[in-house]
Amino acid sequence: MAETPRPAAYDTAATMGGLYGDGIIASKAAFERDWIAALAQDIDAVFQEALALPGGAVPRGPNRYYVETFPERLRGFVDLATHPWIVSVCEDVLGPDYRIVEIGFDIPGPGARNQPWHRDFPAPPATVVGRRLDSLAFNLTTVDVTEDMGPLEIAPGTQWEAGAYFEHGMFPPTERAAFYQARAQRRMPQAGDVSARSALTLHRGTANRSNLSRPALVLGVDAPGATNADKHDLQVTRGYFDSLPARVRDHLTCRVVDRLEPIVQKHTIEGLLMGAP
């Protein structure tokens, strides 16, 4: 059977060039605004619950939190996991046996400060030695991001820095900040846009000077052999797992449980707690 041609938006060369070049790509208006509105409601409900649980909402700097959640707490999880652009990016970069290992969200609230430049974890041998990306982070905003809402800044191409002299393999020396700032790109997506990036590309959340929060969903995906699942605790109940289509179920690295258990988050990034110097 002949292969079905992909739409231009799902062009493999553009995907590989973007993620191996700048380290980030995006698909505009990938989701309808009604879908995003439902996602925003689900995120807010989970966030309020997490704030009431010890360790439920992990601080990532002043007035900035990260929360891991469960796929079944998000009504649109299956839509997310099967979106053609997301699937095509995963297959192109990570291979057909990619694994979904994380679902959560960042919330920079009013008053959140500039973060220091960082990557989300140390560069693995696959990247440092093999020059290969073995994980991706997909992000969706639930709001139209404006300049005063603390948009993400990214330093293109820095996913290839080995980081041997980075503190904990994640934080470059402060004297390098001017170098990253000179090449920084500020990302201001609209509700419905989705991006894919290497979590190794140096980035930072900027100061939120508005009176609004800027929630952003995070979907973490690994290639076979990557180890980011060790930092997370993806759980689904048996009934939910059995209800999932095979094209989602077969890509999940998760625990199947009788009852969802509180998530004790394993990926606190202490270097972000004080904000940028």
Number of domains in the chain: 1
What is the residue-wise DSSP string for 164-206? TTSBTTTB--GGGHHHHHHT-EEE---TT-EEEE-TTS-EEEP
What's the rounded Cα separation, in Å, for the pair 68 and 124? 23
111 class by beta-carbon count within 10 Å (0-12 exposed, 13-18 middle, 19+ buried): middle
Is residue 45 in a domain? yes
Q: State the pLDDT at residue 238.
A: 98
Structural domain range at position 89: 13-272
Per-residue model confidence (pLDDT) at position 271:
62
Residue 132 lies in a domain: yes
What pTM was estimated for this model as a whole? 0.93
Classify residue 7: in a domain, yes or no: no
pLDDT, mean of each 10-residue run, the chain (277 residues): 54 96 97 98 96 87 93 98 97 98 97 95 97 98 97 98 95 95 96 98 97 97 95 96 97 97 68 58
Instruction: Give the pLDDT score at 10.
Output: 82
Is 122 contained in some domain? yes
Residue of 186, 172, 225 whose CA lies nearest to 24: 186
Please give the pLDDT value at position 1: 34
Q: What is the CATH number of the domain that holds 156?
A: 2.60.120.620
